[in-house]
Amino acid sequence: MKSSSSPIRFLKRAADLYPDQTAIVCGEERFTYKEYFERANRLGNALLNLGIQRKDRVAFLGYNCHCLLEAYYGVVQIGAVLMPMNIRLGSEDFLFMLNHAEAKAIIVQNDFLPLIDNIRDRLETVEIFVSAAPNKVDGYLDYEDVLQDASPEYYIDAEMQENDVAEIFYTSGTTGKPKGVMLSHRNLFANALNFIISLELKSTDVLIHTIPLFHVNGWGTPHSITYLGGTHVIIPKFEPELFFQLVEKEKVTISCMVPTMVTSLINASQISNFDLSSLKKMVVGGAASHPSLLEQVEEKMPGCTYIGSYGQTEATPVITNSTLKTHLLDRDPAERHLWQVKAGLPMPGLELRVVDENGNEILHNGEDTGEVIVRGETVMLGYWRDPEATAAAIRDGWLHTGDVATVDSEGYIKIVDRKKDIIISGGENISSIEVETAIYAHPSVLEAAVVGYPDDQWGEIVKAFVVLKPGASPVPADELFAFCRERIARFKVPRIVEYIGALPKSGTGKIMKQVLKQRG
């Protein structure tokens, strides 16, 4: 490769420096960095033998597993483009993405073979089908056989450039067809270094992959942890008890989660049965955090630091982390928590502004709101085969995130809402996140989501969907509304509450508000 600004050399570095260090723990399987390196090399060489060429797209469909970690290096180092797909989608979604990306090969885990078989005769460009199932499957090459027959020698495409596409991730497409976010080698390289620097990671760190690896490479952890020679602990499907078991057994030091995962952990009855003292950092992003959630983490997981985070696929994805400035560390817990749950401070190498509708930067007073825009090394190349959407998202070099935020006097940003989720009632803008924070403070509430509900008089009114904690009695609506009035302005208080068994969530654990809006 003609530049070193790529993560593809990270695995070789780890294999050279930490050959016998445990690299991956995946179920009953354990691989050292020497073994991880050789398996990734075998995958790359096998794909070359099968006819994969530079810039060809190779899709992966499956849960978190060592095979996907191997693909993050084996596919990309030969100059091909890795395309992990969201396991929560359906056959027709996969059909669109595979055809739109003109994928040439796909690696599929057992549970998802029927979904690909349903569309196989309509796939226009896929020529190579590989099964990562435990048993051999008719019509598919076997993953382990493919690796066994290939060379373990390191091969890197010498013609690759740092601004070549390395990965494509399709967005969820809640408002239309999914868009393929193109991330370059340089994007991934910069994100990995940002992650390491901002979280002060070390070679002794052990990370548990709770975030799906199909979601912007698990926020960059396959690259950052590998670069350091740390240990990857795989959890295929997020389950609290399995999480607790692995943290205790493998002495996990860091995890990355969305708030719904954290909520399930702190409310799990088994939490007191395990030694979780090794867990020192919990990075929480993907949605706004709530102070009450942080309080419970500190109570039930003492010694674990809660770090708010914010990002977007189009920014590879991490934009900010709420690591605390030194003079904020000793503040009263209630005050300190307000900073920890914010989106935080910009990553190194990223410029961030919060601007009003005229493009002017807002005052850093923690009250004025504007849209977050960023530019720098981690901003995507654009959307695959969609120049119009690219031009709308990146203007004058700045990525317009669509997220509304405030900035305080310390420079910490706080996400107020997505532009599309702002509720406008009687001409007043209402942050759904602010209302949700008030509801979450109620001791009987497990989860909450707030959306705008059509109203003839006000245009929209606030409707809350609430999931109660196990064993909690339903909270009368008037009681919940009165509880909220003590915390937020009267016009922001929900007018309607609906108690439901579970909130709809995406494959990454985010609450799908579009589904709730359609429910009415």
Residue 233 CA, chain-centre distance (Å), reads 17
Q: Which residue has the tokens 């609290």?
A: 240
> Which pLDDT score, from 0 to 100, does residue 287 have?
84
Bin 97: left if φ > 0, else alpha if -120 < ψ < 50, else beta: alpha
Q: Which amino acid is at 265?
A: L
pLDDT at 175 > cutoff 80? no
How confident is residue 173, by pLDDT bands cut at 50, 70 and 90? low
Q: Which residues is 46 bridged to in the sheet?
A: none
Is the CB of residue 188 less than 8 Å from the CB of residue 163? Answer: no
Q: Measured between alpha carbons, how far is residue 506 from residues 223, 415, 419, 511, 512 in Å?
A: 24, 20, 19, 6, 6
How confident is residue 118, by pLDDT bands cut at 50, 70 and 90? very high
Q: Measured between alpha carbons, how far is residue 204 from residues 18, 252, 432 in Å?
A: 11, 10, 40
> Which pLDDT score, from 0 to 100, does residue 421 have?
87
The mean per-residue pLDDT over the stretch 228-239 comes to: 96
Q: What are phi and psi for residue 242, nearest 5 degrees?
A: -65, -40
CA angle, residues 452, 457, 458, in degrees to nearest 5:
40
How confident is residue 520, by pLDDT bands cut at 50, 70 and 90? low
How confident is residue 507, by pLDDT bands cut at 50, 70 and 90? confident
- pLDDT tens readout for residues 210-225: 999 999 999 999 999 9
- pLDDT tens readout for residues 270-286: 999 999 999 999 999 98
Sequence-distant (≥ 6) Cβ neighbours of residue 482 within 8 angstroms: none
How confident is residue 190, by pLDDT bands cut at 50, 70 and 90? very high
Which of 332-346, 386-400, 413-427 shows the lowest per-residue confidence on average (mean pLDDT)? Answer: 413-427
The mean per-residue pLDDT over the stretch 466-470 comes to: 95
pLDDT at 337 > cutoff 70? yes
In the structure encoding, which two tokens stand for residue 215, read together? Answer: 């979601």
Which is nearest to 35 in space by CA: 52, 49, 20?
20
> Which pLDDT score, from 0 to 100, does residue 148 have?
97
Question: Distance between CA 76 and CA 73 in Å, rounded?
Answer: 5
Give the chain's mean pLDDT. Answer: 95
